[in-house]
Structures are given as C-alpha cells and as structure tokens.
Amino acid sequence: MNFIVSSTTLLKHLQSISGALGVGSALPILDNFLFEIHDGSLHISASDLENVMKTHMEVEANEAGRIAIPAKLLLDVLKVLPEQPCTFKIDPSNFSIEIIYDNGKSKMVGFNPDDYPKTPPIEGNKSLKVSGDIISNGINKTLFATGNDDLRPVMSGVFCQFSPSDVIFVATDAHKLVRYRRTDSQSDVSSSFVLPRKALNLLKTNLSGEEEVLMEYSETNAKFTFNDIELVCRLIDGKYPNYEAVIPKENPNILTIDRVQFLNSIKRVSIFSNKTTHQIKLKLAGAELSLSAEDLDFSNEANERLTCNYNGDDMEIGFNSRFLVEMLNNLETPEVQLAMSEPSRAGLLTPSNSGKENEDILMLVMPVMLNR
C-alpha cells in the first residue's frame, strides 16, 4: 500500500480531527489515526470510543489498503516538514511505515487496522440540515454554562431541542442557565437530545459558520457532516431537567445598563470579594446602581457607583461575580437588561435591543444570600 500526499494538506486534515483522539486511553490503538485508501481517496479516522471524527482527501494511490499510524509521531514529523509531496510506503505484513520526503526518510511501526474500533451506526435516521452559523453560535453562547457534576451527567452537556417553529440550545449547572433560541431554522419533527462537552468543543473548533451541516441522530448517537469532516458522538443518556419551570415569569424590577461599563465595574469590585463565594452586592435605587464587595477575613472592601436606567422598587441583591462576568462576556450588545423580582429569586440577563430578529438569548443567574 503506497500513496503520495502533500505534507501540509495532510497535516491540516490530521489537525482538524486530532481533538477526537483518546489521550492517555487504556486502549493503545486509540493513540493512532486509522488510514484507509479506496478509489484514490484517503479516509482518516480518530476516535476515543465516545467520539469518532473522520476526514478525507484525494491522494495519488494505485491500490486500496488500511493501516493504524501512531498519531503523535506522525503529527510531529509533518509539523517540521516544509510543503512538499511525501511518499508513504506501507508493508501490511508487519505494519511498517516508511515516509519518504525531499532530503530523507523516516520509519515507524503502525498497528493492525482491524483492532481499530468500528464507528457506531446511526439507526432510526432522523435528520435535518442546519446552518453552521446557528450551531457554532448555539455552542459558543451556552457551553460556558454547562455543569461538571459527575452525579448529574446530563447537565454536563448542552440540551438541543428542534421543533417546527425553532431551534433551542440550553445549558445549566443549577447556578446559572442559558437558553439560546433561533427562529430562522426549523425541523419537520420535534426532537431533542443532549450533546456532550467534548463533541461540542470538536464542533466549535471545526465550524467556520459558512457551511451547511447535515445532522443525523438516533436514541444513542448523533452524526454531523460538513465540509470534508464527519463527527459521530455518543449522546448523554438521561432526561434533561425542565428548564422552563425555573425561569421566573414576573420580573417587574428592570435594570438597563451599558454592558462594558457594568462588566468592568464588576471585575474591579470582585477583586475585593470573598475568595470562596465571589459575592458582590448590587444596590438599586432610582437611577443609581451601587456595587460593593467585601472580604471580612482580610478586611478588604470596594464600592463603585454607576448611573443606569432602573424601573422598579429599591432593592439589594447578591450575585456570584464570576457568573455575571461570564455572562456579560458572552453577550455582544452595547446595553443589557437585568430583570429581577426579589432578592431571593433568579435574575434574568438579556441583551437590550440586539437588532437580530431571529435570535433570542436569555441568561438566568441565581442570587447568593447577602451577609448581613
């Protein structure tokens, strides 16, 4: 099995799927890329059992064949080679690999391709086409809010809900929640599933936003096909919590404020907050917002005042400053709104007049009890 391929083209394709490799896996075969040649096309796979990523490219080859090649060794060689054609000579009897380039050659030993895990089939074959822009935005806006509680694995992923009217992405860790909705994409049938964090990161890395993504899914797996990449991942099993039930409906106290000003003020004040709770206090009265934080153990404290537009009753409410910073960093509008009902109930952070008709984003943050 011999083939000739451009060093930089091969490196680019390998890097796009290398994130799916099983790092430090108990199965040594998962430290390898699976190379398969048929009809003059090279198909490469990377897997960690939970996720399988594939890519393909045209090469000069006269015969079909398969081999598992050590991933780190191959990547390290290609990274230091200038752009040039590389000839791969593979002996299937002992899995030896020889790479010949302009001024030299290198040898390594591969593995039996039959030991490589098979890609799980997608049964049931429900499918829909979604723009890459919608998926990458959905992931970017929600991924930071996922949890990492091993006892509730379903909350470590992003809940994806498709219906004839919209597409919704939801993430929560029980302290904060983000719901991202798009009405410019629909599905013929209503369905939902929970995508794990690693698969979301692989998609986020490879989606440019310009492409169209074909999604196919069953009860257990989902498959995403776009450009020259295919990702098959195992879905998180379990029932996602009823997120609609925790979003408070009546929030008469509404603060409208400049996002960057609010964000920078929180960052400065939170330096002086308790290192365990990261608590900052918001005191709202009239057109003024007072932010304060204190760390009683070290006698540290800070106060700042901002002008704002506030409609509602005077109130004092405490939040974890880290959550507010993450949320404000993930909104893009010049102004944001924080809607609240009372100090013990969640606040809702939304963009103020985003100018995007088809997009709706809502961020919920639970308050923390104020130290009296």
pLDDT the model gives residue 123: 80
pLDDT in tens, 335-364: 999 999 999 999 999 999 877 888 999 999
**Within this chain, do residues 133 and 105 fall inside the same structural domain, yes or no?**
no
**Within this chain, do residues 147 and 219 fall inside the same structural domain, yes or no?**
yes
CA distances from 232 to 248, 265, 304, 366 (A): 37, 43, 49, 35
pLDDT in tens, 286-297: 899 999 999 988
Domain range for residue 94?
2-115
Handedness of CA 145, 342, 319, 263 (dihedral sign): positive
What tokens does 144 get? 């930071």
**Within this chain, do residues 288 and 267 fall inside the same structural domain, yes or no?**
yes
pLDDT in tens, 290-329: 999 999 888 999 999 999 999 999 999 999 999 999 999 9
**Within this chain, do residues 236 and 267 fall inside the same structural domain, yes or no?**
no
- pLDDT higher than 60, residue 372: no
CA distances from 125 to 168, 217, 222, 269 (A): 21, 6, 9, 52
pTM above 0.95, yes or no: no
Residue where one domain finishes, among candidates 185, 210, 245:
245
Residue where one domain finishes, among candidates 115, 144, 179:
115
**Within this chain, do residues 230 and 253 fall inside the same structural domain, yes or no?**
no
Residue where one domain finishes, among candidates 196, 222, 245:
245
Tell me if 121 is assigned to some domain.
no
**CATH label of the domain that carries residue 276:** 3.10.150.10
